[in-house]
Structure 1
Amino acid sequence: MDSLMPRRQVLRTFALAATGAAVLGNAACGGGSSPSGADDKEFTYWSMWQDGEPSAVVLKAAIEQFTKDTGIKVNVQWKGRKVVDQIAPTLNTHNVPADLIDSQDRFVKATLFGTKQGLNLNSVYDLQIPGEGKKVADVIPAKYRDFATADGQAWLVPYQVLAEQIWYDGAALPGVTASPPKTWDEFVTLLGQRKAARGGGGPLALDGDIGDYNAFWTYHVILRDLGPGAFSAAATDKKGAKFDDPRMLAAVSKIEQLVKGGYFIKGYNGSKWPAIQQKWAGGQADFLLLGTFVPSETKSAAKAGFQYRSFPFPSGAAGDTSQEISLVGFAIPAKAKHASAAQKFIAYFLNSSRLAGMSSTANNLTPRTDIAVPAVLADAKKTLDQARTVPALDGVKMDQAEWYIKVFTPTNNEFLAGKLTAAAFLAKLKNTTADYWKVNG
């Protein structure tokens, strides 16, 4: 599977990476922007992919051609999703083992940029892409460059874009394709119709044992009712007072409505991933809120004739229609010994003929607008083209990782499981957030 979304092991990875970042922060030196070793003939690349995964296949082909075209040898190691966890303890030493890594944005930002152990990649965006006569900055839209830039420094060069959507089978629900729900009220009306059609069975699929999957529901209602930045502001409120906002209660009460109303499929809160999403693909539920990896991850369980369609999370009180995204891309440790060669490879890989494999072979969205989009992701791409983009989970997993893991996730899991009312959920978050900042603020 070429899936990126965090499960238990990846949540653990992120927790460890965040811890490593905190340790490194005190001793970190500032990241540079001018690589040494301009004549380097090799570099070491640690990848988040496992050998044989579709994305790894695409990268491996590009690496082989890069060596043929440039004479630069790439010592690639397919580390898997724990790549950041593995490199974090070395970043402040004189023996950083990799000159290039790739990972999801939140891991890179917390562990490299957040500790000043990542190279400023502004100069990479100025490099010419071999064979195109364009610079990297010319082919990466500004919204993605801005996303991966902080304090004037680029900390990531993306090659994949992920976005959360509500997925459904267009063959089974042509009416939804013709007129997808745009508001929360329209969505709830549709859910009621589908619940009745299913004889009272819940139309929403959710693997409730995955904290991030639960968080997508709660975060989206907050985003739609309070706007971008509200969730992050609440996470960093040292007194927890923002959880007293009446708009916050109105927002999360929508999730309580779904839980108490039986809109989630039976067994969702006692399932083990991927049981429920497989049931969804098999037609036992109608809707699934997850990322653009869904078609790749569920195709083996999909019933015959399944047509992957999606629509953005319905708007709420604030009228917000933002599309949350996350990026996968390249980063370079500040103390990389062969940074120049690594930068050359980044520019080389961003050539449309090579990056296109991330769409055609790995079935993912890329940041380039001139690369064909997989048919199963056409709806998501349309949303991305039209909507304002915001960081997944309001950037909280990048910037407030420990709060998210220790405070929000366990409480939200209780809420989605029906163990807390909306009011009790917010009251608990307020208290635990205040306690957290007393110790960490």
Structure 2
Amino acid sequence: MNGSLPRRRVLRAVAAVTAAGLLGLAAACGAGSTGEASDELVYWSMWKAGEPQAKVLESAIGSFTEETGVKVKVEWKGRDVAKQLAPTLNTRNVPADLVDSADRFVKSTFFATGQGLDLSPVYDLEIPGESGKKVGDVIAAKYREYATTEGRAWLVPYEVLAEQIWYDGGTLQDVAAAPPKTWDDFVSLLAARKAARGDGPLALDADIADYSAFWTYHAVLRDLGPGAFGAAATDTTGAKFDDPAFVAAVQKIEKLVKDGYFVKGYDGSKYPAVQQKWAAGGADFLLLGTFAPSETKPSAKEGFQYRSFPFPAGARGEQTQEISLIGFAIPARARNAEAAKKFIAYFMNRERLSKIATEADNITPRTDVEAPAMLADVKKTLDTARTHPALDGVKMDHTDWYTKVFQPANTELITGKVSAAEFVAKLKSTSVDFWKLNG
């Protein structure tokens, strides 16, 4: 046998190299983001079949196919959709062209890894049926800025979430007339309601670490301002936890626990027992996201009037509003990216997007879509207050620190197992250890 390969094997090798090169080029260009038309796309969604948002999207998918001829194969994957897709993103066989998920999952899965398309061009697309309006024209600027990092748009949002303190406006008419604006006003209200009820007025399912985190984070936010929590979380020396203002903010939460302002049984609850109890009239106030009304409606007492107010102002005297977003992303190697972009622009049409409010009881990023009546208080705040990422973006950008360092310690604080001083000391030491290993 001589040193040369048989001609057929050479041709096969050349063909393989050529094919690989073409595949690499397609991947680099976004494989479908090159302007080529497509008559199909695969869409993976965070919703389960039958959920309100899924029904809204399914309706839009049907009319989209009817009007454009583009077939959409949708798979209702549930909340872990980004995790399911992540292992495939750097392969030649990315199974989805379009994904929707919560901002933190999109940013960490697509933007942080470089595996998502820059969606800036989508904001420049005209919305079908809206006489020349572009996607970027109808989404409030603050939401577009939120979803853009280093000049790259990594999300096109269609739903806005925000945390506020919820109550029954029919029962607490005095609160509806004049919601507490300062921490001192809030604590005075809690004292009065505890005396009237004979039990703590604050509802909390403490087995959900996120829900417990809302209390401590908001206290820090109000006293130190947006960005302070994130700065402490990423301080490799732990020095920022020594700030007396940080400790003082945490002591407010410690006092809520010690003074019995959380309803009995909150520390041993099994979600959603306590929030259902609240909706039935068993507690007065619930700090939770804009999903609270839709989640608790089945348990709500007759005539329950959903009202809310922002977490009260602290030492800084301001009430900023934290937000998070749910929206669309496109994998960098999507085969049918152009069709995916086309669907996003189609769905952002006012008539179609408004169903997220009217049928799914949530707030949209379009300022011209009225919020559901039960979320009117939140919408009013969003339209007027300064907004910032939920939990200072820590949950989104530093997930491991948030889940492995902050949440366990905070659950101990909120359930009365440790004092504020012990909590802060533990947070400092475990953060220093964490960053030594992960810095």
Q: TM class by shorter-chain length?
A: over 0.9
Matches within 5 A, 1:318-357: 318-357=316-355
1:197 partner SS = helix
Q: 2: CA distance between counterparts of 1:398 and 1:76?
A: 26
Residue 209 of structure 1 corresponds to 207
Q: 2: CA distance between counterparts of 1:194 and 1:120?
A: 50
Q: 1: CA distance between counterparts of 2:42 and 2:126?
A: 22
Q: How far apart are 1:30 and its partner, in Å?
A: 8.0
Residue 376 of structure 1 corresponds to 374
Residue 15 of structure 1 corresponds to none
**Could you say if the C-alpha distance between residues 33 and 160 of structure 1 is closer, same or farther in structure 2, counting changes exceeding 3 Å?**
farther
Kept after mapping to 2: 8 A contact 1:33/1:121 = no
Percent identity over the alignment is 68
Matches within 5 A, 1:50-129: 50-129=48-127
Matches within 5 A, 1:13-412: 35-36=33-34, 38-132=36-130, 133-199=132-198, 201-412=199-410
Q: 2: CA distance between counterparts of 1:74 and 1:300?
A: 33
Q: 1: CA distance between counterparts of 2:306 and 2:30?
A: 44
Q: 2: CA distance between counterparts of 1:158 and 1:374?
A: 18
Residue 24 of structure 2 corresponds to none
User: Where does the alignment leave 5 or more consecutive residues of structure 2 unmatched?
Assistant: 1-26
Q: How far apart are 1:31 and its partner, in Å?
A: 8.7
Q: Deviations over 1:19-43 (max 9, x none)?
A: xxxxxxxxxx989698125211101
- Please tell me the residue identity of whatever aligns with 2:192: Q
2:159 partner SS = strand
Q: 1: CA distance between counterparts of 2:311 and 2:426?
A: 26
- Please tell me the residue identity of whatever aligns with 2:153: A
Kept after mapping to 2: 8 A contact 1:166/1:290 = yes
1:124 partner SS = helix
Q: How far apart are 1:189 and its partner, in Å?
A: 0.2
- Please tell me the residue identity of whatever aligns with 2:197: R
Residue 13 of structure 2 corresponds to none
2:236 partner SS = coil
Q: 2: CA distance between counterparts of 1:178 and 1:61?
A: 40
Superposition RMSD in Å: 1.2
Q: 1: CA distance between counterparts of 2:222 and 2:35?
A: 48
Q: 2: CA distance between counterparts of 1:161 and 1:168?
A: 20
Q: How far apart are 1:372 and its partner, in Å?
A: 1.9
Q: 2: CA distance between counterparts of 1:316 and 1:33?
A: 50
Kept after mapping to 2: 8 A contact 1:32/1:119 = yes
Q: 1: CA distance between counterparts of 2:30 and 2:317?
A: 42
Relative to the length of structure 1, the TM-score reads 0.92
Greater than 6 Å deviation, 4+ residue runs? none
Q: 2: CA distance between counterparts of 1:289 and 1:395?
A: 19
Kept after mapping to 1: 8 A contact 2:163/2:288 = yes
- Please tell me the residue identity of whatever aligns with 2:340: A
Q: How far apart are 1:320 and its partner, in Å?
A: 2.7
2:282 partner SS = coil
